[in-house]
Structure 1
Amino acid sequence: MEIRELRYFVALAEELHFGRAAQRLEMAQPPLSRAIARLERQLGVCLLERTSRKVTLTEAGAVLLSEGRAILSAVAAAERRTRQTASRRPRLVLAVKSGTADTLLAKLLDLYRVEPGAVPVDLLLCEAHQQQKLLQNGQADVALLHLPFDSAVGLDTEILRTEGQAAILPASHPLAGRSQIRMAEVTTLPELPMARWPGPGGSYPEGPGAEVRNLTQLFQLIALGRTTAILPESVGTDLRRDLTAVPVLDAPPVTTVIAWPPQSRLRAAADLVRTATRL
């Protein structure tokens, strides 16, 4: 099986449409159809069910899609990291969710900057659940994750801190003056339904709360009295004036970790991790 054929199959399996897949791959449809048929002959299995109306994955096709994504991500990561290692001007890419861990991040960057052999660090600001994929496909070298909200499956990690959570409320809300609050008091507010974040697959859970993807969007909706959220207490450090963070007594703790791919051999990434563990 060739990488090119695998790339063709993954595109088709994700699009489930020969025309769209061919357009995405910037090729004609007939060569794509021939490549998929040749791949099925090589493997001796049927990967796709084709009718005049739709294309669906077989059980074997679903397995190859999952494995193929992992393989293509590993290839992309290997290409980038090989170039990075050979570069005369190495750089690190650190993925963080926009608006989170600002104080911790600033301390980490300041401490690493004075380390012997430190290299420039590019920040890759992303949305919920993106860090794991960015590490796996080689777009990022290290990332800050917040457990249990982010997935660290398949990654190496070091714990940086564990903290409580707080409810983010409009400053004018009756509960905003409280010194502490409980989960049930926040999650049952009819006028402020809990915000909904996308899952790893990109889909939102059912519910009346607003759909959000980042903290900037979330904070604006909370200030407008449309939704609320329970977030790590550190998020409230530099909160805008029209919002208030109230500690939630019975909310589960959140652990911030620094994560990296286990196959990484970048010395600069290892130095950044060691620096982070000293915070």
Structure 2
Amino acid sequence: MTTILRFLHTMHEAAFLEQALKDGLMLTDHPVKFAPLDINDGRSIEIMQSYSIAALSERASALGVSDLNLNALMYGLGTIAGKIPMICFTEVHEGRSLVPHYANFGAYGVVVSKEWLEANGGDRVLYAGPTSAVTKRLHRLFVDLQIAKLYVQNGKMLFNNSSLEPVLNLLAYIQSKDQLDEVEWRIAGEHGFTGRRRETGDRLTLPFDAIQAVLVKKEDEVEKFTDILKALSTTPGKELPPVLVQPRILPLDIGDVSPAFQYFLSGGDEDKPFNSKND
């Protein structure tokens, strides 16, 4: 049976991989930020500011407020930064070298099925460049959400922090920079901004059937992680996911991964006969 290897979660330590396989993948804090400003694009900044001022003025009129305290209200309007617990995956496209990915995110990893990823809320990240069309629309959406929740206290309009919750929920799946070499998917957890329990450090169980492959850094680790997979298998004799040694690429279509193919993927010379001891 053919398996598609594509959705990879990596880490830097073998111990982290072992715990992930046994106890589940951990939700860790990742910074998120939305600041649609490019100092070189004065026209876009002017348009954004004009829209915000007009929306604030309209809300002030609706609330019967004469003192707009514009400077205070404009500060940070439509921008947000924070940390959200999540699990990140890269969607590996055909032919893409994994070497730079290992350098940045670690050479140990697990490939999961798309079905499991989507069933647990996983979705592809949207990359939005500074003052791009998408960024401008998101900025207006965030401004509208914040202004709609403004309330009056002692004659002044104040922000309601609850307006930021849906913004953070959306930002969990937005990367506001150009990073086209990564096609990232995320499973976002509860950030706890409005008082609910923050899920940083929680683990998401990874069923054996969701594991499509395991990646290790060194050849002498294959046996150990094969034994871990055997212990996790709920069906004796069932075919195990392959344990690959730092492959340069991921095969998209894979059935039984032979030791020779594993050797080639790991950097062996395809023109030289395979030796299981690599000597």
TM-score interval for Structure 1 and Structure 2 normalised by the shorter chain:
under 0.3
Bigger fraction of residues in helix: 1
By relative contact order (CA 8 Å, sep 6+), the higher-ranking structure is 2
Structure possessing the higher radius of gyration over alpha carbons: 2
Q: Structure 2 length normalisation: TM-score?
A: 0.22
Q: Structure 1 length normalisation: TM-score?
A: 0.22
